[in-house]
Amino acid sequence: MDAIDVIRAKRDGARLTDEQIDWFMDAYTAGRIPDYQASALLMAIVWRGMEPDELARWTQAMIDSGERMDLSSVTVPTADKHSTGGVGDKVSLILAPLVAACGVADPMLSGRGLGHTGGTLDKLEAIPGFRVDLSSKEFVDVLRDVGCAICSAGPNLAPADRKLYALRDVTGTVESIPLIASSIVSKKFAEGTDVLVLDVKVGSGAFLPDLDVARRLAETMVGLGNAHGVRTIALLTDMQVPLGRTAGNALEVTECVEAMRGKGPDDLVALTLELAGEMLGAVGSDADPRGALEDGSALERWERMVRAQGGDPDAALPEASERLTVDAPSSGYLATLDARAVGVAAWRLGAGRARKEDPIEHAAGVVCLAKPGDRVEEGQPVLELHADEPTRFDEALEALRGGWSIGDEPPEPRPLVIDRIA
């Protein structure tokens, strides 16, 4: 088979055959197809799209490019959640131990943040000693013993996706529903979970701010789940406003622990419970996630997971040496608080990275002292900026310019869950 024939077929709008897909994925993963030819095929897919059965085969070939996790030693049902990412989206840190406390194991493979959206692994690494790079055996051992484990995907899990993802990032081929969907679910299906619940974010702080595009992505991923025999449900959730009250790694860990102690912000707790309910319901469990959150069971699982992965749940988390408040210029109600503006500000303070290899400052970030609908008085602090380098404050303040406003009346409440696709 020849790479040029495969490229031409997709360029001209044909459905790639199963044999073409399998051959391409195997040859590219093994290094027999150069990046420039793979780039040409990716661009052809961006322009021509893929048929549902074609995409299902493409995804299967990505899974088959590496190993699959063997969860046969886990004796309880498994369910996982994936979020497309947002500002202050710290749900995973609460959700995994919560469903574990309800008798369902969560084998969660997560990623790092890039740009204005945070990454679960970066948050966890704010905990002294916490290891996110586990071997397959270590991962399964923690999952079996604790009921949840959160770590990075190993190099042998869907390696075709690892290569293609890096290539898409530098060839202008990121914005493609088939390529996004297959990238997300190939790793999740390879981890071996019984159920996958997708949190597809919509709004200014989301990867896909347009509702129609986000819905198409959700429908595509649910379709892929059905094609691969994995019960898959997607929720479209609001990301116009930061989730919770913090954006920044150590700040978000602290907020999650507070939530597991019964002191979490309403929106964070509500979304976590909604996703937990979907995960538990999909495996046939009638456990009460709210009860597990309120009685300390989730916190107990969290502490066990942190210890099992080398961390100290009682250790002090990094704190920024410099802080700056942003005060209300007038009295009224906080009318808007743009998630992207807050996310970019946190990024500029040091909480995020522009490239995957960039270092981050775990203590940096933004605390939202008020959320839309809250009454504020002139001179009252609305936002608190945290950084180790005070020179970062000016760029963060510039990112926030026009990103929030005060009005005479409180805004209409926004629904947290916009739609459900199953």
Listed residue (20, 56, 262, 66) closest to 160, CA to CA: 66
Q: What is the pLDDT of residue 174?
A: 85
Q: Are 322 and 388 in contact (CB under 8 A)?
A: yes
CB of 274 within 8 A of CB of 281? Answer: no
Contact between 212 and 179 (Cβ < 8 Å):
no
Residues of the chain with CATH 1.20.970.10: 3-49
pLDDT of residue 289: 98
State the DSSP code for 391: G
Domain with CATH 3.40.1030.10 in the chain: 79-157+191-308
The confidence score (pLDDT) of residue 106 equals: 98
Active-site residue, 183 included:
yes
| Region 347-351 average pLDDT | 95
Q: How many helices (H) and strands (E) does the chain have?
A: 16, 13
Q: What angle do CA 213, 218, 220 make, to 5 degrees?
A: 95
Higher pLDDT: 118 or 213? It is 213
Residue 362 among the catalytic residues:
no
Looking at residue 155, its pLDDT comes to 85
- Please report how the helices 91-101 and 249-260 are oriented relative to each other, as an axis angle in degrees rounded to 10: 30
Predicted confidence (pLDDT) at residue 254 exceeds the cutoff of 80: yes
3-state secondary structure of 398: helix
Angle at 401 between CA 395 and CA 407, to 5 degrees: 155
Using CA atoms of 49, 51, 53, 55 in order, give the dihedral in degrees to the nearest 10.
Answer: 10
Instruction: Find the mean pLDDT for residues 190-213.
Output: 95
What is the reported pLDDT for 116?
Answer: 80
Calculate the alpha carbon distances from 402 to 336, 339, 405 in Å. Answer: 10, 12, 7
Region 161-174 average pLDDT:
90
CATH fold for the domain made of 322-407: Aldehyde Oxidoreductase; domain 3 (3.90.1170)
- Spot the catalytic one: 187, 188, 201, 215: 187
Cβ–Cβ < 8 Å for 329, 406: yes
Per-residue pLDDT reduced to its tens digit, 219-232: 999 999 999 999 99
pLDDT at 416 over 80: yes
- Interatomic CA distance for residues 23 and 5, integer angstroms: 12
Looking at residue 175, its pLDDT comes to 84
The active-site residue, picked from 22, 161, 238, 267, is 161
Give the pLDDT band (50/70/90) at residue 166.
confident
Among 242-251, 348-357, 391-400, the minimum mean pLDDT is found in 348-357
Active site residue 187: yes
pTM here is 0.95
**pLDDT tens digits for 267-321?**
999 999 999 999 999 999 999 999 999 999 999 999 999 999 999 999 999 999 9
Q: Can you give the pLDDT at residue 35?
A: 96
Question: What is the three-state SS of 57-91?
Answer: HHHHHHHHCCCCCCCCCCCCCEEEEEECCCCCCCH
Main-chain dihedrals φ then ψ at residue 264, nearest 5 degrees: -85, 155
Q: Please compute the mean of the pLDDT values over residues 82-107 and round it to a whole number.
A: 97
**Two structure tokens written together for 29:** 């993963």
- The CB-based long-range contact list for 282-286 (8 Å cut-off, 24+ gap) reads 282/79, 282/195, 282/197, 282/231, 282/233, 283/77, 283/78, 283/79, 283/104, 283/194, 283/195, 283/231, 284/77, 285/77, 285/102, 285/103, 285/104
* Three-state DSSP class for residue 390: helix
Of the candidates 176, 183, 204, 297, the residue annotated as catalytic is 183
pLDDT at 154: 85
Which residue intervals of the chain bear CATH 3.90.1170.30?
322-407
Q: Look at residue 354 and tell me whether its pLDDT is greater than 80.
A: no
Is residue 72 scored above 80 in pLDDT? yes
CA angle 299, 305, 308 (to 5 degrees): 145
Q: Report the pLDDT value the prediction gives residue 118, as an integer from 0 to 100.
A: 82
3-state SS assignment for residue 151: strand
The answer, yes or no, to whether residue 115 has pLDDT greater than 80, is: no
Q: How confident is the model at residue 410 (pLDDT cuts 50, 70, 90)?
A: very high
Which of 48-62, 174-188, 261-275, 305-319 shows the lowest mean pLDDT across its residues? 174-188
Asked whether the predicted pLDDT for residue 141 surpasses 90, the reply is: yes
Q: What is the mean pLDDT of residues 205-226?
A: 95
For residue 168, indicate whether it is catalytic: yes
Q: What is the pLDDT of residue 107?
A: 97
| Catalytic residue of the set 82, 188, 245, 392 | 82
pLDDT at 412: 95
**DSSP 8-state secondary structure symbol assigned to residue 56:** H
State whether residue 289 is helix, strand or coil.
helix
User: For a pLDDT cut of 90, what percent of the chain falls above it?
Assistant: 91
Is the per-residue pLDDT at 164 higher than 90? yes
DSSP one-letter string for 207-239: S---HHHHHHHHHHHHHHHHHTT-EEEEEEEE-
Verify whether residue 414 is a known catalytic residue.
Answer: no
Query: Given phi > 0 = left and psi -120 to 50 = alpha, else beta, which region is 247?
Result: beta
In the predicted structure, residue 169 carries a pLDDT above the cut 90:
no
Fold of the domain built from segment(s) 79-157+191-308 = Pyrimidine Nucleoside Phosphorylase; Chain A, domain 2 (3.40.1030)
**DSSP character string of 101-148:** HTT-BEEEEE---BTTB--HHHHHTTSTT------HHHHHHHHHHHSE
pLDDT at 111: 86
The CATH class that applies to domain 3-49 reads: mainly alpha
For residue 64, how far is the Cα from the chain centroid?
Answer: 24
Q: Supply the pLDDT for residue 170.
A: 86
Residues 258-275 have a mean pLDDT of 97
Q: How many CB atoms lie within 10 A of CB 260?
A: 27
State whether the Cα torsion 249-357-33-43 is positive or negative.
positive
Beta carbons of 91 and 268 less than 8 angstroms apart: yes
Catalytic residue among 57, 90, 168, 245: 168
